[in-house]
Amino acid sequence: MGNNTKTALVTGAASGLGFELALILAKDSYDLILIDIDSQKLNEAKTSILEQCNIKITLMVKDLSVVNIAQEIYNDIDNTTIDVIINNAGFGLFGSFCDTDWERESEMLHLHILTTTHLIKLFLPDMVRRGSGKILNISSLAAFQPGPLMALYYASKSYILSFSQAIANELKGTGVSATVLCPGPTKTAFQEVVSVGNNDNKITFNMACPKDVAVYGYKAMHKGRVVAIPGLFNKFLSILPRVLTRNRTTKIVRQIQNKNRDI
């Protein structure tokens, strides 16, 4: 790669929001390192991007819920300078905590919390030394309040929000920025991976297009904004816990989950 080449690393890049963000980066002349567990969709994503952009794409098929996978990725990338990190990979798990599968929950927590944090831990010192770099972590509107029937998902997204805000503050003046994108419901493969008998959301009026969310998040990252919430209705929902108390909003979330799943 030439000295002027910019490189971005995107997790969960095979489809949905990750793919849309990768495509925007490619159109902005970034070379890409795309990571996903789905090798077929990852190759399809690469083909699709290369049809539109003349860049270099490196694919990594990795299970990001595995212990120390971030170190493996860092070692594989070797001396490539990473200018942008987008931590997008994630999945949801629906059900009462008493009944849900611990193996799957453990994988989700490892992916959302440990792998996301470890990747930043590994790449951030290089960015700070260079005095440039951008981090975009994908959280969720779920981060702003507890979520009964998706307790660990909501809690893990709260972690991503809190962690991102903290390091964004620490990075002021370094030339490196951290942005956390908190979309509401978005029409992506995520909806299919939420483990529940019927995966179809009943409530669809606030369902966003991943392309629009990706553009919003990308612009926010380049502006160095800390928290990015796409959509006026979502911004309103994010402040509800401060207006109504967390206890009240927790009850509301429970009612929405029940209606959404026809419980």
pLDDT in tens, 96-138: 999 999 999 999 999 999 999 999 999 999 999 999 999 999 9
26-41: pLDDT as tens digits: 999 999 999 999 999 9
| Orientation angle between helical segments 116-130 and 151-170, nearest 10 degrees | 10
For residue 1, tell me if it sits in a domain: no
Please state the separation of Cα 83 from the chain's center in Å.
Answer: 17
Q: What is the pLDDT of residue 260?
A: 62
- C-alpha 94/C-alpha 114 separation (Å) is 21
Chain mean pLDDT for the chain: 88
For residue 95, tell me if it sits in a domain: yes
What confidence category does residue 71 fall into, taking pLDDT thresholds of 50, 70 and 90?
Answer: very high
For residue 83, tell me if it sits in a domain: yes
Q: Which helix (H) or strand (E) holds 46?
A: helix 39-52
For residue 172, tell me if it sits in a domain: yes
For residue 192, tell me if it sits in a domain: yes
CATH number, residue 198: 3.40.50.720
Q: Please state the domain count of the chain.
A: 1
For residue 64, tell me if it sits in a domain: yes
Longest CA span, the chain: 56
Angle subtended at Cα 244 by Cα 162 and Cα 230, rounded to the nearest 5 degrees: 50
- C-alpha 220/C-alpha 238 separation (Å) is 17
Mapped to the 3 state alphabet, what secondary structure does 63-79 carry? CCCCCCHHHHHHHHHCC
Strand partners, 57: 32
Residue with the larger pLDDT of the pair 245 and 150: 150
According to DSSP, residue 93 is labeled B
Residue with the larger pLDDT of the pair 193 and 261: 261
Give residue 182's domain range.
Answer: 6-261
- What CA dihedral angle connects 257, 251, 101 and 113, to 10 degrees? 100
Q: What is the pLDDT of residue 207?
A: 60
Strand partners, 179: 136
pTM: 0.88
Question: What is the C-alpha radius of gyration for the chain, rounded to an integer number of angstroms?
Answer: 18
